[in-house]
Amino acid sequence: MMNSHIKLKILVIGESGVGKSSLMLRFTDDKFDANEQPTIGVDFKVKHLELDGEKIYLQIWDTAGQERFRTLIPSYYRDATGAILVYDVTKTSSFQKLETWLEELETNTNQNITKMIVGNKIDLKDERRVDREMGKKFAKQQRALFVETSAASNINVQMAFEELVKKILEDNIFDDR
């Protein structure tokens, strides 16, 4: 049936400082706060979307500082249908660490979770260390969607979340539809 609500849980994962909280804040509230302090603990934000005639209740889970401990609590991963893996295009190490985050994701989620790799901070043109092709190639190897963003300059943020949701809807059959 059309027009029922589909509830989706999305995870935003990646090294500390890559801009996970900033991307979420930009997407949910269309804001950017350069002074926002990371909080410890798992937190989520809610956004209502209407895509392809479907009403979607989106729960976006932030790691909120937990990534410092190199591992996330199991309940974070529970029932997740999609994951955004973020790196900072100005920090090669954050790109290299994606492999570790992907391994942890695969260990903690049993179903084939829909993945998107996001290279953030493309507004910092002079500081770029990871080129677009590298990110794109890696995402292809991982069978993940790929997009480069700037939470600060509001580039591709809305589009990234929406593309992921569309792919999740393609990849899954939802009982309440």
Q: Which residue has the tokens 């999305």?
A: 10
Cβ atoms of residues 42 and 60 within 8 Å: no
Q: Which of 6, 9, 19, 72 binds ligand GDP (CB under 6 A)?
A: 19
User: How far apart, in Å, are the Cα atoms of 83 and each of 21, 61, 73, 128?
Assistant: 14, 9, 15, 24
Could you give the CA distance from residue 157 to residue 4 in angstroms, rounded to a whole number? 26
Which of 68, 76, 64, 72 lies closest to 40 in space, CA to CA?
64
Give Cα 24 distance to the centre of its chain. 8
- Min separation Cβ 112 and Mg ion, Å: 27
- Min separation Cβ 98 and ligand GDP, Å: 13
Position 66 contacts ligand GDP (CB under 6 A): no
Position 123 contacts ligand GDP (CB under 6 A): yes
Position 166 contacts ligand GDP (CB under 6 A): no
Closest residue to ligand GDP, judged by C-beta, is: 19
What stretch of H or E contains 77? Answer: helix 74-77
Would you give the DSSP letter of residue 3?
A: T
Give Cα 141 distance to the centre of its chain. 18
Could you give the CA distance from residue 118 to residue 140 in angstroms, rounded to a whole number? 12
Position 18 contacts ligand GDP (CB under 6 A): yes
Window 124-163: contact mask with ligand GDP (x via CB under 6 A): x-------------------------xxx-----------
Which listed option, ligand GDP, Mg ion, none, makes contact with residue 17 (CB within 5 to 8 Å by class)?
A: ligand GDP
Window 25-64: contact mask with Mg ion (x via CB under 5 A): -------------x--------------------------
**Number of residues near ligand GDP (by CB under 6 A):** 17
Binding site for ligand GDP (CB under 6 A): 16-22, 34, 36, 38, 120-121, 123-124, 150-152
